[in-house]
A and B are shown apart, each in its own frame.
Chain A
Amino acid sequence: MDSGVTHAINLAPVMEAQDRSGGAWDALVDRARVGDSQAFDELMGLTESRVLGLAWRILQDRDLARDAAQDTFLRAFRSLHTYRTGEAFPAWLCAIAVNVCRDLLRRRGPRPVDLEDLDHLPHAQDHPSAPEEAILRSQRRTLVQRALGALPEGERTALVLRDLQGFSTEDVARVLGVRPVTIRTQVASARLKLRAACERLIQPGGQP
Chain B
Amino acid sequence: MNAAHVAPEDLALWVEGDLPEAQAAGVASHLAACPACRAEAEAIRASQAWLKEGEEPPFSPEERTALRAAVLLELASPRAQAWPSRSGWGALLAAAALVVLTLGLPLLRREPARVPPSLPAAAAAPAPEAQAGLNPPLTPTTPIRVRASRQPQPLASAPSPPGIRMEFRSPDPNIRILWLPRTPAGAPSDPPRTS
Q: Which residues of A contact B (CB under 8 A)?
A: 1-3, 5-10, 33-38, 40-41, 44-45, 48-49, 52-53, 56-57, 62-67, 69-71, 73-75, 77-79, 100, 103, 106-109, 137-138, 140-141, 144-145, 148, 159, 162-164, 169, 184-185, 187-189, 191-192, 194-195, 197-199, 202, 204, 206
Contacts and interface: CB of A to CB of B under 8 A. Distances in A.
B49 A3 contact: yes
B127 interface: yes
B145 A37 contact: no
B195 interface: no
Interface in B29-63: 39, 42-59, 63
Interface stretch (B8-16, B153-161, B162-170, B182-190): B8-16
Contacts of B28: none
Contacts of B9: 185, 188-189, 192
Contacts of A185: 9
B133 interface: no
16 contacts: A7-B52, A34-B84, A35-B83, A37-B89, A40-B72, A45-B68, A56-B57, A56-B59, A74-B75, A74-B144, A137-B53, A141-B50, A163-B52, A188-B18, A194-B48, A206-B50
Contact of B54 (A40, A65, A67, A144): A144
B193 interface: no
Contacts of A204: 46
B50 A52 contact: no
Contacts of B50: 3, 5, 140-141, 144, 198, 202, 206
B74 to A, nearest CB: 6
Given A48-B64, A107-B119, A188-B10, 15 more contacts: A1-B42, A9-B52, A10-B56, A35-B87, A36-B88, A56-B59, A71-B143, A73-B71, A75-B140, A79-B140, A107-B123, A163-B48, A184-B18, A195-B43, A206-B50
B105 interface: no
B21 to A, nearest CB: 14
Interface string B84-119: 111111001000000000000001001010111001
A189 B64 CA distance: 33
Nearest to B112: A67
B67 A144 contact: no
A121 B174 CA distance: 49
B137 interface: no
Interface of B: 8-10, 12-13, 15-16, 18, 39, 42-59, 63-64, 67-68, 70-72, 74-76, 81, 83-89, 92, 107, 110, 112, 114-116, 119, 123-124, 126-127, 140-141, 143-145
B12 A192 contact: yes
Contacts of B76: 37
Contact of A187 (B13, B42, B56, B83): B13
Contacts of B141: 75
A106 to B, nearest CB: 7
Interface centre among B10, B50, B71, B144 (most CB of A within 10 A): B50
A204 B66 CA distance: 42
A194 B52 CA distance: 12
A194 B44 CA distance: 8
A109 B126 contact: no
Given A107-B126, A191-B48, A77 B75 contact: yes
B108 to A, nearest CB: 9
B88 A53 contact: no
B67 A66 contact: yes
Interface centre among B13, B57, B144 (most CB of A within 10 A): B57
B68 A63 contact: no
Contacts of B46: 1-3, 195, 198, 204
B57 A53 contact: yes
